[in-house]
Amino acid sequence: MAIVGTSLALVDCDNSNFDMLMNGPPGAGKSMLASRLPSILPPLSPRELLEVSMVHSVAGRLADGALTDRRPFRAPHHSASMAALVGGGLQAKPGEVSLAHHGVLFLDELPEFQAQALDALRQPMETGDVLISRANHRAVYPARFQLVAAMNPCRCGKATEPGYACRRQPNERCMAQYQTRISGPMLDRIDIVIDVPAVTASDLLLPAASEGSAEVAARVADARRAQTRRFEALGLGHVTTNAACPAPVLDQIARPDSAGMSLLRDAADAMRLTARGYHRVLKVARTLADLDGEAKVGRIHLAEALSYRSRIDQVAQAA
List beta partners, residue 151. 23
Could you tell me the residue ranges of all domains in the chain? 2-204, 213-318
Q: What is the DSSP letter of 154?
A: S
The residue that leads in pLDDT, 46 or 136, is: 46
Q: How confident is the model at residue 310 (pLDDT cuts 50, 70, 90)?
A: confident
Q: How confident is the model at residue 233 (pLDDT cuts 50, 70, 90)?
A: very high
pLDDT in tens, 59-115: 888 776 677 788 999 999 999 999 999 998 778 889 999 999 999 999 999 999 999
59-92 residues labelled b (16+ CB within 10 A) or e (exposed): beeeeeeeeeeebbbbebeeeeebebbbbbeeeb
Q: For residue 203, what pLDDT is reported? A: 63
Check if CATH label 3.40.50.300 holds for domain 2-204.
yes
Whole-structure pTM value: 0.85
The residue that leads in pLDDT, 207 or 117, is: 117
Work out whether the CA dihedral 107, 109, 111, 114 comes out positive or negative: negative
Alpha-carbon distance of 41 to 36, in angstroms, equals 9
pLDDT in tens, 172-223: 787 888 888 898 889 888 988 888 887 766 666 666 555 666 777 787 888 8
Phi, psi (5° rounding) for residue 204? -70, -20
Encoded amino acid at 259, one letter: A
Residue 54 C-alpha from the chain's centroid: 24
Instruction: Give, in order, the Cα–Cα distances in Å from 152 to each of 44, 74, 157.
Output: 32, 20, 5
pLDDT in tens, 254-291: 999 999 999 999 998 898 888 888 999 999 999 999 88
Alpha-carbon distance of 125 to 80, in angstroms, equals 18
Cβ-proximal residues to 264 (8 Å cutoff; 6+ apart), any chain: 256, 281, 282, 302, 306
pLDDT in tens, 150-174: 999 888 877 777 777 777 677 778 7
Q: Is 66 helix (H, G, I), strand (E, B) or coil?
A: coil
Alpha-carbon distance of 306 to 219, in angstroms, equals 23
Q: How many CA atoms lie within 13 A of 18 on its CB side?
A: 34
Work out whether the CA dihedral 160, 165, 168, 173 comes out positive or negative: positive
Judge contact between 227 and 291, C-beta under 8 A. no
Work out whether the CA dihedral 154, 35, 74, 189 comes out positive or negative: negative
